[in-house]
A and B are shown apart, each in its own frame.
Chain A
Amino acid sequence: MPDTLPPETPLLVTLRVNEHDHPLALDPRTTLLDALREHLGLTGTKVGCNHGTCGACTVHIDGRRQLACLVLAAAAQGRDIRTIEGLSDADGALHPMQAAFVAHDALQCGYCTPGQIMSAVACVTEGHTRTDAEIREYMSGNLCRCGAYPNIVAAVRDVAQQKAA
């Protein structure tokens, strides 16, 4: 570790996103969200508030749902990052949660949808789907200005039931 670094020193960071390694030279200030969108062209992850309050930027880091707008890209080095682009199969078949969002019409403008889906996939994996109230509680980090909430809950419930069956 060098003694002190001038702040403008670019950081060499390798991000592992959707099972591919991406070596990048980044300003230390770059958030994971900006690295995904501006440096890797993965614009599926959305910028909403950029402040941790809306969930539009939700991705999975080492399997846990986290907010890309409040994680530094440098801190995501060595982690396993999954974005909405990495959810479907290699052959393009939709992930069951994506299919359920389509089937239940769980969106209107679609801006919150990638974050909702990433959060919903984790919500099911965590097992927080025993009741609609529990689904609502554990999906509370994702806002939808279009108010598609009832259909989002239906989609999550559907996938949880498919999994249990």
Chain B
Amino acid sequence: MIPGPFAYYRPSSVAEAVGLLVRLGDEARPLAGGHSLIPMMKLRMATPEHLVDLAGVAGLKEIRDNGATITIGATVTQAELINSELLLRRLPILRETALQVADPQIRSKGTLGGNVANGDPGNDMPALMHCLNATYLLEGPAGSRLVPARDYYQGAYFTALGQGELLTGVSIPVPPLGHGYAYEKLKRKIGDYATAAAAVVLTLVDGRVATASIALTNVAATPLFAEAAGAIVLGSTLDAATVKRAAAAAKAITDPATDGRGTAEYRREMTGVMVSRALMKAAARARIGG
């Protein structure tokens, strides 16, 4: 239960943090809230020799409204997402999802950047970022680059993050006013990772689906963007037969593991249930809001 030995660094700027990561090489890791990394280090599933703490890095704490997009700094905590007036008004699915991450203590320390950078298929924010078509802002030795969330995840704990790179924030296109949204998560108990979960954002025009985006958590090695399922509901009134077809399309792309949360068959089935529920809830909200 004690991590392997490491040296601890506390840079105060992004440039200094990137400089450290580059100089210290492969065995260096950024430390954000530590609520994924420190448990892994205690289990010796991760044994970094150098930890670069981002807590003192300036400029990563801001939630900024740019009109068409909102950018959120990497070290903004889940609790700060929940308490943000701006997000409640313009991107309420972030609050809804953050409230289903772990428990209050963990949310007061765990960061959005750590949650999405991590690459753990159990994390809830990556699928949400797929659903919202977010872009990750990366800063590295060669400067900055943008990577769409939908291109970032390559396998469990394998991501597009390069050596020496830091995720500094995410940029999220704001769905139109009156959009419907839902994050439906099945878990064994409060605070648990998802058995299966689905994020939905949609818009209705005259009671018919005009746009729809669906993404799935913890039912494959990476978060999944359920593109075909989203396409199926377009133009529909979300009648039972259409919802069933969309759920089937979402289930078809899953590849869940059999584990303590259930068999692969069960988790695939529950993916369909979460997609159906999220679609119906999102549609009901769009009608009220729209």
Contacts and interface: CB of A to CB of B under 8 A. Distances in A.
Given A5-B7, A71-B34, A141-B105, A50 B24 contact: no
Nearest to A57: B105
B104 A29 contact: no
Interface string A36-54: 0000000000000011110
Given A75-B31, A140-B104, A1 B8 contact: no
A128 to B, nearest CB: 8
A28 B6 contact: yes
Interface residues of B, number: 36
Interface stretch (B49-57, B177-185, B242-250): B49-57
Interface in A122-165: 122-123, 128, 137-138, 140-141
A28 B49 CA distance: 11
A74 B53 CA distance: 10
Interface stretch (A61-69, A81-89, A99-107): A61-69
B105 A29 contact: no
Interface of A: 1, 3-9, 11, 27-29, 31, 50-53, 55, 58, 64-67, 70-72, 74-75, 119, 122-123, 128, 137-138, 140-141
15 contacts: A1-B9, A1-B11, A27-B5, A28-B5, A50-B1, A51-B1, A52-B35, A52-B106, A65-B104, A67-B105, A70-B38, A75-B31, A140-B103, A140-B190, A141-B106
Interface of B: 1-11, 16, 20, 23-24, 31, 34-35, 38-39, 42, 49-51, 53, 55, 79, 102-106, 108-109, 190-191
